[in-house]
Structure 1
Amino acid sequence: MWKHFAANALTLLIVGLIVLAGLAAMAQRSFVAEGPLEQAICLRIDRGANLRAVTRSLEEQGAVSSGMLFRVGAQYDGRDSQLRFGSYLLPAEASMTQILDIITQGGASTCGTEVLLRVGVTRAEYLVRELDPATNRFSEVLELPLETEEFPEEYQALSVLPDTRFRIAIAEGATSFQVMNALENAEFLSGEIAEIPAEGTLSPDSYEVRRGADREELIGDMQARQLAILTSAWETRAEGLPLATPEEALILASIVEKETGVAEERRLVASVFINRLNTPMRLQTDPTVIYGITRGRTVLGRGLRRSELNAETPYNTYRIDGLPPTPIANPGRASIEAVLNPEESDYLFFVADGTGGHAFAETLAEHNANVALWRRIEAERNQ
């Protein structure tokens, strides 16, 4: 009888172990399987939130099929105490293990509120935006000029949320003075900028920062990025270019940047200036003359006068040979690479063609015909 009882107990134990193993296997499969989310959501984790509170939020938003399984999995994995506060984008059908990875890996928030300081070539402004998780696109909440002194309550409330992100976007072709002025006025930055950074040395890019970030350190980051881009492009430059140094390449890249906003044209516009330097022939480009007048501190806002085109200044490329003494703006990567690997062409001239691009010509006669056509287009538009 004792043997019979022992045998039955052993059988039950084995069956129990098999059942537990099966349940564990099912739980494991459920933990890594696609989740129930039909579309992406933004999950906010408040500072100090525990696993139970986060799990409840996941359940309420339909992100997990079993809150208990999610908690057990997080505890088994040893990450139940590694939650990072912020707002995180959870993609559609995210598995429990994917969700756990997202909310414990740390780093910047990936959705929610963003304060963007956008520095353009004509103005700078604050944009407060919210990411729509369903479309992964931002919707604008608030727009304010850089010169704002009294911020509305809505801005003040959103900008101090612990998971609000701050970003600075520098447009290609913005001058160093424009960038410095924007950073000095940015209410979420700290510290002083000792002097205007050398023209052309700041990389037009997007920079994510924290509230209170140091302005000088940010300038250093911008300069380091630009130097890395210029160094890499210089090392892979085409042969036979009339550019003796990376600094000369930066000067010409800034001219190309100001001459065209059409990405497909950059290498062709660069070829015109390279051909002129090789001829040799004066560059004769308006943006350099304008920079000689404004030094990048203001937007001219009018056409050039004949007296300005005739003036003897270091930046008047109608009067000087070769390149001006410095860049006239901060060129982006594409313009730097275009100058150092230009299109092969025989073009020496270009003029606007009425479509936003340019008409190119090899001879002065062809160019004059293109200019006449452009003037007719301008006259028709002004009627």
Structure 2
Amino acid sequence: METPETKAPKDGVAPTFHVGGRRDKGKARRPSQAARHPAVTIGSGIFTFLLFALLGGGLAVWYGEHAYNGPGPLEAEKTVLIPRGAGVRDMAEILEREGIIDNWLVFIVGQKVTRPEASMKAGEYLFKPGQSMASVADAIASGKVVVHQVTIPEGLSSQQVVQRLMANDLLTGTPVVPLEGTLLPETYRIHRGMSRDEVLRQMADAQQKLVKALWEKRAPGLPLKNPQEMIILASIVEKETGDADERPKVAAVFINRLNKKMRLQSDPTIIYGLVGGKGSLGRPITRSDIVTPTAYNTYAVDGLPPGAIANPGREALAAVADPAHTKDLYFVADGTGGHAFAETLNDHNRNVARWRAIEAAQPGSAPQSGSAAAPQSGASQPAN
């Protein structure tokens, strides 16, 4: 009996055999989807690449954020100077070189991402151990520079003030010497790289504010026409005594003499008339110095000199604005660093005699300034 597989073919076509009961219809095998669509393979590759790039980018972002906000490498406090004109790249390299940060590129990227509008400021900065890049960037963007102090003592001339500022290597620039008596001696806050002109402006502004306030509250009846005259007299008081408790009494002597049309006869005005703002005369005042007329010598001119002889401090200015209520017209050194005051010339002569005895017991010591009238002539104590 014939089966379908052994039945003779019709039309001379050979029979087709198949394995496992699967019949091949005589057609070619169909291509796979990948073979039919090459773009799928390419797209799959691109997708894989992007996936890895995304994962890598995410890791980079994670690392950058961790490095930017995490603890820095610094182990001990350190100050670093960021020079003027330095860009962010320069700053970052300086910080890495100084051991403040450990990756300048992360610092730049982090600063640009988190503070795109911030202006990084030059100056001297103090960094703490383990300070993060974010904190470092905050400090530089906010200009939190290291603050120093400069102290200007009372009684210096403007020329001496400038010399003191020029000796401070934290400051920059060469200023013009201000007018005498226009600066307020104080302790001022400065930072490295600050200009000396800026310090002088601060001193002048502080002095103007103080003088205005004191003048508005001055005691009634003062023989002073304007705030400038108050400054001039305060500069004389400043140079006459360094004792804060004495200043109102010294101011009262000069106020009383002005009211009586007496010459002030102040030794420091002799010195200023001879050497100007250079400072000390370098020797005791002589009789010839006393009689040598200058515009500032109050033994030779009536009333106040034409300008201040120093930069008076707060206490001297306040003393002139509100002097002690006394009738004293004279004072002379008492040998203890202070002065003996007197209302009459006779009392003053006795005080001078005591002072001369003290001087005689201390040979070689320079006479102290003890102005406002001396024995016999009414001038300051006679020079040796």
CA deviation digits over 1:248-289, x for unaligned, max 9? 000000000000111111101100000000011000010001
Gaps of 5+ in 1: 1-47, 59-80, 89-102, 110-161
1:366 aligns with 347
**Matches of residues 120-159 of structure 1 in structure 2 within 5 Å?**
none
**Shift in Å at residue 50 of structure 1?**
6.4
**Matches of residues 221-370 of structure 1 in structure 2 within 5 Å?**
221-370=202-351
Whole-angstrom distance in 2 between the partners of 1:171 and 1:278: 31
* Pair member with larger Rg: 2
Whole-angstrom distance in 1 between the partners of 2:352 and 2:125: 60
Of residues 151, 154, 167, the one that matches 1:172 is 154
Gaps of 5+ in 2: 1-66, 78-113, 115-123, 129-137, 365-384
Whole-angstrom distance in 2 between the partners of 1:381 and 1:316: 28
Of residues 181, 184, 188, the one that matches 2:166 is 184
**Shift in Å at residue 86 of structure 1?**
3.2
Matched, 1:215 2:201: no
**Matches of residues 70-85 of structure 1 in structure 2 within 5 Å?**
none
Structure 1 pair 107/302, CA: closer, same or farther in 2 (3 Å)? Answer: farther
Structure 1 pair 330/235, CA: closer, same or farther in 2 (3 Å)? Answer: same
**Shift in Å at residue 87 of structure 1?**
7.6
CA deviation digits over 1:164-208, x for unaligned, max 9? x43211000011000112223432211231x21000101100111
Q: % of aligned pairs identical?
A: 48
**Shift in Å at residue 308 of structure 1?**
1.3
**Shift in Å at residue 294 of structure 1?**
0.9
Whole-angstrom distance in 1 between the partners of 2:152 and 2:69: 39
Taking structure 2 as the reference length, what is the TM-score of the superposition? 0.58
AA partner of residue 86 (structure 1): L
AA partner of residue 191 (structure 1): G
AA partner of residue 266 (structure 1): R
Give structure 1 regions of 4+ aligned residues with deviation exceeding 4 angstroms.
48-54, 106-109
Structure 1 pair 215/359, CA: closer, same or farther in 2 (3 Å)? Answer: same
Structure 1 pair 362/86, CA: closer, same or farther in 2 (3 Å)? Answer: same
Structure 1 pair 369/190, CA: closer, same or farther in 2 (3 Å)? Answer: same
Helix, strand or coil: the match of 1:367?
helix
- Residues 237 and 250 in structure 2, CA contact (< 8 A), matched pair in contact too: yes
**Matches of residues 26-175 of structure 1 in structure 2 within 5 Å?**
52=71, 86=126, 163=146, 165-175=147-157
**Shift in Å at residue 225 of structure 1?**
0.5
**Shift in Å at residue 57 of structure 1?**
8.5
Whole-angstrom distance in 1 between the partners of 2:76 and 2:287: 68
Larger strand share, 1 or 2: 1
- Residues 250 and 331 in structure 1, CA contact (< 8 A), matched pair in contact too: yes
Helix, strand or coil: the match of 2:293?
coil
Helix, strand or coil: the match of 2:162?
helix
AA partner of residue 249 (structure 1): M
Worse-superposed segment, 255-264 or 299-308: 299-308
Whole-angstrom distance in 1 between the partners of 2:300 and 2:353: 24
- Residues 157 and 279 in structure 2, CA contact (< 8 A), matched pair in contact too: no
Taking structure 1 as the reference length, what is the TM-score of the superposition? 0.59
RMSD across aligned C-alpha pairs, in angstroms?
Answer: 3.1
Whole-angstrom distance in 1 between the partners of 2:180 and 2:76: 50
Helix, strand or coil: the match of 1:360?
strand
